[in-house]
Each structure stands twice: as structure tokens, then as C-alpha cells.
Copies of this chain bind each other. A is one copy, B any other.
Amino acid sequence: MAELSRLSFNQMTAGKATLAEVVDACVRHGVQWIGPWRYSVTDNPAAAAALIRNAGLKVSSLCRGGMFPAATKEERQRRIEDNLRAIDEAAAIGTDLLVLVNGPAPDRDIDGARRMVVDGIAAVVDHAAKSGVRLGIEPLHPMFAADRSVVVTMGEANEIASNFQPCQVGLVVDVYHIWWDPQVYAEIQRAGERIFAFHVSDWIVPTPDMLMGRGMMGDGVIELKRLREAVEQIGYRGPIEVEIFNEALWSLPADEIVRLTADRFEKFV
């Protein structure tokens, strides 16, 4: 079993609560880590950092940078500048990890868009290094290939990461996105020290919604323990983040969501 001390509560698991409400609920239920999203941080990173720090919580990662592919050079440059700001925000909030969700292609050329991801990371990686922030490429489930991320497998994320230093660019392994992959254990091995984060949730059957249908751990079919053991065997010892987009879950009070998350984490992860 994973120890509760490793649980990180991703803010989006209580998507309708404020950051302050989520922080309070984490403290009440003994959760030591939190994963905030930029929309709660951008306006005043120092205040968000103080809120979290004063509650005694640590920040596992900031969601999210990325979204590099775009139709014009000007728009790609704007995305790069936004990622530079995201890196600053990650540093300000007190985490060494920015999660990259890499965006869809601007047209039908998916391989061209994948090259734009490499170019985008190359354009921001030095600033990230100077800021003490690592970049974590998160492969999304292939059902998001057309609208959220052209990076859809661990293999591809490893391939992209291999262009950069292992201490600087790695992978965010979210079981929801990669559990189906016949190559997943081989690619975890290959990623090795590049595994920067491990996210858990579950795949429920039938899936109520493509985006908002993630399940709480234990409610679905994902081999959570097998995947956790695989990333641990290769050396991952960091926080385990719970990130669940689910309309029914979001309708609960933040306190109840954090309580349930901690309970399921201890039972099923």
C-alpha cells in the first residue's frame, strides 16, 4: 500500500472549490501535498504560495504548461511566452515541476504538430533550468489526440524527452491516460529517472463522459498497484497525485471529496 504521506490532492479533483477550500480540506484530512492549477495562481502567485505554505502543505506540481502547436509562428511564440510565465509561476508557488499538456495540431498534420512540441520545449528548457523547474510531458489518452494533446503514448513522450537532459525534461505518468498501452511497462522501464510524477484515478465502465468521466480509485479496471509498483521499481519515490475530472464528484463539498480521496488512496493505490 502507498502511504498517505505520499498523497497529493490535485486541485481539479474538487474542480468547483476555491484553492483556499481545497487547502483547508487537505489539512483536515492529513493530506500533505497539493497540485494547484494555474487559474488559481496566475493573478497572485505569492499569495497562492503563502496560502499553501502557511497551511503546511507542499506543492507537487503546477498544472499546466504546454499547448505548443499552432498554425502561425506568431501564435507559437505567444505559447512559448506563456510557458515562460508558467515556469515563473511554478517557481513562485514552490514546486520544481511544471506539467506539460501539449495541445492538439492546428490542422491534420499530427506529426508536424509533434515536432512543434519538441521545438516548444527546446525554447523554454533553459529558462526552466535556471528557475529550478523541471518540465513533465504528460501523454494524454489517445481519445484526446484531436483536441488536447498530440502526445498520446509513453513511447512518444519518452522519444520527445530524449532530446533533453534527464534531470530537466521527463514524464508525468497518469494511469488514466496510459493504462491500456501494451507497451506501458516497457516504457516505464525506459523512462527510468525521467518519471517526474505519478497520477492516479480509475477508468470506470461504462465511461460516463470522455473528459469528465474519470473514476475514483477502486471504482474501475486499472491495475493501480501494478502500475505503482512498476514506477517504484524504476526508482520513483515522489508524491502520488490524484487528479479526477468527474461532474458527480465535483458536486460534493471539497471536504467530502478530500476525505473520500484519502480513503480510496489508502485502500487501492
Contact A108 B142 (CB under 8 A): no
Write the nearest CB–CB distance from A229 to chain B, whole angstroms. 14
The answer for the CA separation of A145 and B207 in the assembled complex, in Å, is 11
Q: How would you classify the secondary structure of chain A's contact residues: helix, strand, loop or mixed? A: loop
Contact B145 A180 (CB under 8 A): yes
Is A100 at the interface (CB under 8 A from chain B)?
A: no
Contact A108 B143 (CB under 8 A): no
The answer for the CA separation of A141 and B181 in the assembled complex, in Å, is 11
Given the complex, which residues of B lie within 8 Å of A155, measured CB to CB? 182-183
Counted per complex, copies of this chain come to 2
The answer for the CA separation of A142 and B183 in the assembled complex, in Å, is 13
Q: Classify chain A: how many residues form its interface, as a range.
A: 20 to 34
Contact B146 A221 (CB under 8 A): yes
Write the nearest CB–CB distance from A182 to chain B, whole angstroms. 4
What residue of chain B has the Cβ atom nearest to residue A213's Cβ? B210
Query: Given the interface contacts A207-B210, A210-B207, does A182 sit within 8 Å of B114 by beta carbon?
Result: yes
The answer for the CA separation of A179 and B203 in the assembled complex, in Å, is 22
Contact B142 A221 (CB under 8 A): no
Contact B220 A146 (CB under 8 A): yes
Given the complex, which residues of B lie within 8 Å of A114, measured CB to CB? 182
Given the complex, which residues of B lie within 8 Å of A104, measured CB to CB? 205
- C-beta contact mask, A216-237 vs B, less than 8 Å → 1, else 0? 0000111100000000000000
Which 9 pairs between the two chains have the least Cβ-Cβ distance?
A145-B180, A143-B143, A142-B180, A156-B182, A146-B205, A142-B142, A146-B221, A108-B223, A108-B221
Please name 10 pairs of A and B residues whose Cβ atoms are closer than 8 Å in the assembled complex, sorted by A: A110-B179, A110-B223, A114-B182, A141-B142, A141-B143, A142-B180, A147-B205, A147-B207, A152-B182, A155-B183
